[in-house]
Amino acid sequence: MKKIAVLISGSGSNLEAIIKACTSKKIEGTVESVICNDPKAYGVKRAKSFNIEVKIINHKDFSSREDFDNELENYLMQCSPDLIVLAGFMRILGDKITSTFNGKIINLHPSILPLYPGLNTHEKVLQNNDKNHGITIHYVSGELDAGPIIAQGLIEVKSNENKGSLIKKIHKIEHVLLPEIINEICKGNIKLQKDVVVYKNLSTIKNGIIRKFYEL
């Protein structure tokens, strides 16, 4: 069983989806630790409700981003996870930590990258009248939301769509696709080799990535 560390900043709904998938054996791994940069985040309560260790590393306690990264890196080295999942973690990691754990950190981003890195993705989709919206799961590099893409989940943007309805739909596909990808990584069917995503025993590859469309 692979050891998983999950980093969060907010409500932790994806964290709960990952934990439940581990508990039901849909992921060949266990969430060994949860790290949060906001002591008031609801995700802390979610983790504790499943009796999972929570480490608070409050970014406000550090005078620089480098100091925060060093503390985070030191803790991760202690935990020695096989996989690190950024699930709504709202801090940009520096080059040192992404280099140290290269090929072990994945991120979930709420857009069809390379469209809309950063914040406010749902608003941008509506403003630009996009036909589709979705999520991207990718390996983390030193550049914001720009590491090698593993998988994307897409939905159609309906004519009566608003920000609230988009967020609900995006959360639904996050809670399905993220655990699936984590499981394939834990099984060794997805790896990062020389900055290229390598797939094994998977039949859903299109244009070099896993790409799924969801009818919602």
Question: How do residues 126-137 score in pLDDT, each as one tens digit?
Answer: 999 999 999 999
Integer CA distances (angstroms), 206 to 77, 113, 127, 153, in order: 35, 15, 28, 12
109 is catalytic: yes
Whole-number average pLDDT of the chain: 96
What is the pLDDT at residue 207? 82
CATH architecture, range 1-101: 3-Layer(aba) Sandwich (3.40)
33, 45, 44: which is closest to 76 by C-alpha? 33
Task: Reply yes or no on whether the pLDDT at 204 is more than 90.
Answer: no
CA atoms within 13 A on the CB side of 146: 6
Name the E strands within 19-118: 29-36, 54-56, 83-86, 105-109
- What is the fold, at CATH topology level, of the domain defined by 109-216? Rossmann fold (3.40.50)
Give the domain ranges of the chain: 1-101, 109-216
Would you say 139 and 190 are in contact if contact means Cβ atoms under 8 Å apart? no
- Token duo for residue 94: 């520096």
Distance CA 156, CA 109 (A): 17
Would you say 5 and 79 are in contact if contact means Cβ atoms under 8 Å apart? yes
Q: pLDDT tens digits for 164-184?
A: 999 999 999 999 999 999 999
What is the pLDDT at residue 188? 97
Q: Which of 109, 122, 133, 138 is catalytic?
A: 109
Same-fold call for 1-101 versus 109-216: yes
Please compute the mean of the pLDDT values over residues 140-169 and round it to a whole number: 95
What is the pLDDT at residue 142? 85
Q: How many CB atoms lie within 10 A of CB 197?
A: 20
